[in-house]
Structure 1
Amino acid sequence: MFVRAYLRASTFEQDASRAREVLEQFAARHDRVIAAEYLENASGAKADRPELLRLLKDARKGDVLLVESIDRLSRLPAEDWQKLKAAIDSKGLRIVALDLPTSHQGIADTKGDEFTRRMLGAINSMLVEMMAAIARKDYEQRRERQAQGIKKAKDEGKYKGRPVDADLHKRVAELLRAGLGIRSTARHADCSTTTVLRIKREM
């Protein structure tokens, strides 16, 4: 059994490696070692995530895809989630999420009878689907509330957008002029690639 940990944060301002320790502790409690780690800063609402795609490419039948929670794996719309789930299933990967106890059998060395294993597998599959749907709904609701808040502030003449960080703007511009790429600039300036692209356009 090869345990592949997937760690994701939505933006470069967030620490994608935050859950590393808790994942390692979980694996150790089941006498496993995380053999490969896939770390990235990308929205879970995007299907095109390089590290997740690399994980799928590397995976072999029987491997474990270990995540902190299902929403770290997906906040995708239903159609995109079904495509991702089909790719995971076609590789023979077993999804194990820390916050989904029914999935823990995927990393444990259980030798229960076939009927029990199949029943637990069916229940787990249903719960994974449910949690993926909840993760998407949560994402959409937060986006909707954000848009409503901005609209209200605009209607009241209070919305000014994000204040311009002159020092960050200068730092990003210097790095871009020095020939660094978008991702490298974002890493060195400690900001998102979206911010770098916006400043680059303004330049």
Structure 2
Amino acid sequence: MFIRAYLRASTDEQDAGRARTALEKFASDQNKVIACEYLENARGATADRPELLRLLKDARKGDVLLVESIDRLSRLPVEDWQKLKAAIDSKGLRIVALDLPTSHQGIQDTKGDEFTSRMLGAINSMLVEMMAAIARKDYEQRRERQAQGIEKAKAAGKYQGRPVNADLHKRVTELLEAGLGIRATARHADCSSTTVLRIRDAARQ
């Protein structure tokens, strides 16, 4: 059994590896070892996540996709989530989330009778879908509250926008001009590939 752990944080300021200890402990409690780790800073509401795409490319049938929670995997709109879920299913990956006990059977070697296994699989699939929908709803509500807060701050003349990290922008631009690729630039600048792309695109405008 090959266990692939996916760790994600939404911004460069957050620690994407924060959940590593919890994931490793969970695997150890099941007498398993995480064989490969995919870590990135990217919003769960975007489908453009290089490390998740690399995980899907590397995956083989029967592998386990281990996450802290379903919202680390997706806060996507329903259409994008369905595409991602179809890609996961087509690879034969088993989603195991720490906060979804019905998924834990996917990391265990023991097999019950076929009927029980299929029933648990169906229940788990339904709950994964439900938690993905909840994660998206939570994202939309937080965005709405954030927009309302910004509008209120603008009306009061207090909104200044998000500060730009000038040093990071300069570093990324220099690395790209030196001929480094997106992932290499992200690694040397200590930021996400998404941030590199955003800075590159902004410089082209």
Please give the range of the TM-score, normalised by the shorter of the 2 chains: 0.7 to 0.9
Give the SS at the match of 1:147. Answer: helix
1:197 aligned onto 2:199? yes
Match of 2:15 in 1: 15
Single out whichever of 178-187 and 8-17 deviates more from structure 2.
178-187
RMSD value over aligned CA atoms?
2.7
Q: Which blocks of at least 5 consecutive residues in structure 1 are unaligned?
A: none
Deviation at 1:115, TM superposition (A): 1.3
Match of 2:90 in 1: 90
1:112 aligned onto 2:112? yes
Cα contact 2:169–2:199 (8 A) shared by 1: no
Identity across matched positions, percent: 78
Q: Which blocks of at least 5 consecutive residues in structure 2 are unaligned?
A: none
Match of 1:5 in 2: 5
Match of 1:49 in 2: 49
Structural mapping, 1:57-136, within 5 Å: 57-136=57-136
Question: For the residues of structure 2 that align with 1:175 and 1:69, how far apart are their CA atoms?
Answer: 31
Cα contact 1:186–1:196 (8 A) shared by 2: no
1:173 aligned onto 2:175? no
- The residue type paired with residue 173 of structure 2 is L
Runs of 4+ in structure 1 deviating by more than 3 angstroms, as ranges, are: 174-192
Give the SS at the match of 2:161. Answer: coil
Cα contact 2:95–2:106 (8 A) shared by 1: yes
Give CA deviations for 1:4-23 in whole Å, capped at 9, x if unaligned. Answer: 11111111111111111111
The alignment of Structure 1 onto Structure 2 pairs a total of residues equal to: 200
Single out whichever of 154-163 and 77-86 deviates more from structure 2.
154-163
Question: For the residues of structure 1 that align with 2:56 and 2:171, how far apart are their CA atoms?
Answer: 37
User: Structure 1's 172 and 17: CA in aligned 2 closer, same or farther, altered over 3 A?
Assistant: same
User: Structure 1's 177 and 79: CA in aligned 2 closer, same or farther, altered over 3 A?
Assistant: closer
Match of 2:152 in 1: 152
Deviation at 1:112, TM superposition (A): 1.4
- The residue type paired with residue 142 of structure 2 is R
Pair member with larger Rg: 1
Give CA deviations for 1:22-67 in whole Å, capped at 9, x if unaligned. Answer: 1111111111111111111111111121111111111111110000
